[in-house]
Chains A and B, each alone.
Chain A
Amino acid sequence: MGLYTFLAALVPLNNYGHFIHWHWLYVSYANFIVICLMVITFVAALLLPFPGRNRRKENR
């Protein structure tokens, strides 16, 4: 029960949602955060070295 209380205090879900409204753009903060995380993951996947990548390049 303590964990539930802690999480509820951290991310209160029992109220109205928050939205970003800028001109034509209308998106909830929750969806906006997920979109940002996807973009970050995409960029990280392109930039971060893959394990064994250098070894494979040396062997080419």
Chain B
Amino acid sequence: MSTTEIERQWTTRLRHRAAGKLPPEKLLPDTQPSYVSSWIYVFGVATLSSLILVIVTGCLLALRGPSWWHGSFIGHFVNSLHLWSVEVFFFAMVVHLWGKFFMGAWRGGRTATWMTGVVTFLASLLTAFTGYVSQSNFDSQWISTQAKDGINATGGGAYFNVLNMGQMLMWHIVLLPLAAIVLTALHVILVRVKGVVPPYDDDATAVTTPEGATK
């Protein structure tokens, strides 16, 4: 195969494009802009960390099933860990959202980063909702019977039936987590490509090493 043919392959072109947009030192940087040394920048990573805990505990619950999470001590513990990691996830995500809103985080060509964050938030809300109606207890029965009227009023009840336990569980453990994970990955990649948004009055070119020295 000639060099020209290799260069024309879609794999070669995609690799060159990906490496150009996101070189390894940009994907996993060892320096950050100086303005990032503020607690308000911590909540994005806190959201991501709690999402990982949500996924891990969710996988454990999927492995063992409802009789385990309702009927054993360890099952109760993992079930509670799943719930509370979701609470921390939303708590951190809302503070992250407020911080980014007041920073105007869509500035500097970061519209796609902002929008993927918004859609991830909406997908996460739906994931949490389907989780609450999949608990297989009186609480989930109450939530689903209350929610059905609202969803039926939108005309969506035929496609998204909150009283259908099987459908809600599949949405909760397959479709919506997949969407949330893919969107989160895309959001993080965009943050790496475009960089963290600088404050309104800060010098965006300053970077610091982990030791604190400014380059």
Contact = CB atoms under 8 A, between A and B. Distances in A.
Contacts of A52: 37, 212
Contact of B43 (A34, A45, A50): A45
A59 B214 contact: yes
Given A42-B95, A42-B99, A46-B39, 17 more contacts: A37-B91, A38-B91, A38-B94, A38-B98, A42-B98, A45-B40, A45-B42, A45-B43, A45-B99, A50-B37, A50-B38, A52-B212, A53-B37, A56-B34, A56-B37, A56-B214, A59-B212
Contacts of A41: 91, 95
A50 B36 CA distance: 10
Among B37, B38, B42, B98, max chain A CB count under 10 A is at: B37
Interface string B29-64: 000001001111011000000000000000000000
A52 B209 CA distance: 12
Interface SS of chain A? helix
B38 A45 contact: yes
Interface residues of A, number: 17
Contact of B91 (A34, A48, A57, A59): A34
Interface string A11-52: 000000000000000000000001001100110111010101
A1 B62 CA distance: 28
A56 B206 CA distance: 11
